[in-house]
């Protein structure tokens, strides 16, 4: 393939917020988005199942043909990034390190992190931030219901508003100056989160810092798109295309989006299994 796309993977629709920033930063690049909405959200799953599902996504992107992969899912990044790097022979980026670097320097009033159970339990953000700034005060809060509510399209209903208010109470009490939206679904709820915290708290999403890192990697690794042709953007989901499109249309209003339904599962059961051994695919 002369100009293979950048693969972007998330457990559902959340990674679309990262894809939007990637397309803004690299307008000449083709993209292939894969959202595993049928099995979303990943955040409440045990690590071995997150790894298994992520590896199935990596296999799908490999077979389809991509030149780099972005894991636009904090839960998958926190437990499966290293396995994904071993499994593929193309660069694989996660969302946690770029975001941590964005907030770690100069954070004098505390950094809050909200995310799924898997992300918060892993401690990945706290470790990444403190590696850069050992003196940083990091306050983490798991928000188990939020990603699922976004997947259901409930962005401003009473259950969502109550959940946000409840989850943010420890963040308010900690008086942080910066809050990391440590799940790529949460930018869909940005306005509601900002209303509760007030304008004095800076909200940081994963999309812009990840896109900046990807742009630098593409330039330094000579992976930029060859001249000629028009970039192609594909949106695929393992779930319902109609539900997916309703949320995608919020990020690309007025555009005629075509959503493809795909099946990436090796098995259709959701029972726990041992995590697959990472495999290395030779270059095709």
Cα end-to-end distance, the chain, whole Å? 10
Q: Any catalytic annotation for residue 143?
A: no
Chain Cα centroid distance, residue 233:
18
From 55, 96, 183, 247, the catalytic residue = 183
Q: Any catalytic annotation for residue 73?
A: yes
Which residues make up the CATH 3.40.50.1860 domain(s) of the chain? 6-94+208-261, 97-206
From 69, 73, 114, 241, the catalytic residue = 73
Task: From first to last of the 284 residues of the chain, give the pLDDT tens digit.
Answer: 568 999 999 999 999 999 999 999 999 999 999 999 999 999 999 999 999 999 999 999 999 999 999 999 999 999 999 999 999 999 999 999 999 999 998 777 899 999 999 999 999 999 999 999 999 999 999 999 999 999 999 999 999 999 999 999 999 999 999 999 999 999 999 999 999 999 999 999 999 999 999 999 998 877 777 666 799 999 999 999 999 999 999 999 999 999 999 999 764 444 444 343 333 333 32
Q: What is the CATH number of domain 6-94+208-261?
A: 3.40.50.1860
User: b/e map of 225-244 (b: 16 or more CB within 10 Å)?
Assistant: beeeeeeebbbbbbbebebb
| The architecture CATH gives domain 97-206 | 3-Layer(aba) Sandwich (3.40)
Q: How far is CA 194 from CA 104, 221, 268, in A?
A: 20, 37, 39
Residues near 255 by beta carbon (within 8 Å), at least 6 away in sequence: 249
């Amino acid at each position: 393939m002369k100009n293979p796309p950048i693969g972007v993977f998330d457990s559902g629709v959340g990674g679309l917020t990262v894809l939007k920033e990637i397309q803004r930063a690299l307008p000449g690049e083709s993209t292939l988005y894969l959202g595993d909405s049928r099995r979303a959200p990943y955040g409440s799953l045990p690590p071995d199942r997150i790894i298994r599902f992520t590896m199935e996504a990596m296999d799908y992107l490999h077979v389809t043909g991509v030149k780099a992969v972005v894991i636009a899912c904090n839960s998958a990044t926190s437990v499966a990034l290293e396995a994904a790097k071993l499994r593929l022979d193309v660069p694989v980026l996660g969302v946690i390190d770029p975001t941590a670097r964005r907030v770690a320097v100069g954070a004098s009033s505390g950094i809050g992190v909200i995310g799924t159970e898997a992300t918060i339990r892993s401690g990945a953000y706290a470790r990444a931030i403190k590696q850069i700034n050992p003196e940083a005060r990091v306050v983490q809060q798991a928000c188990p219901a939020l990603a699922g509510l976004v997947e259901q399209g409930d962005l401003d209903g009473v259950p969502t508003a109550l959940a946000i208010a409840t989850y943010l109470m420890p963040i308010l009490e900690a008086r942080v100056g910066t809050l990391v939206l440590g799940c790529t679904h949460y930018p869909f709820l940005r306005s509601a989160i900002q209303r509760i915290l007030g304008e004095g708290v800076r909200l940081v999403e994963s999309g812009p810092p990840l896109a900046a890192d990807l742009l630098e990697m593409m330039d330094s690794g000579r992976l930029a798109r060859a001249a000629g042709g028009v970039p192609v953007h594909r949106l695929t989901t393992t779930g319902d295309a109609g539900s997916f499109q309703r949320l995608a249309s919020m990020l690309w209003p007025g555009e005629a989006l075509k959503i493809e339904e795909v099946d990436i599962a090796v098995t259709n059961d959701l029972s726990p299994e041992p995590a697959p051994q990472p495999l290395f695919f030779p270059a095709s």
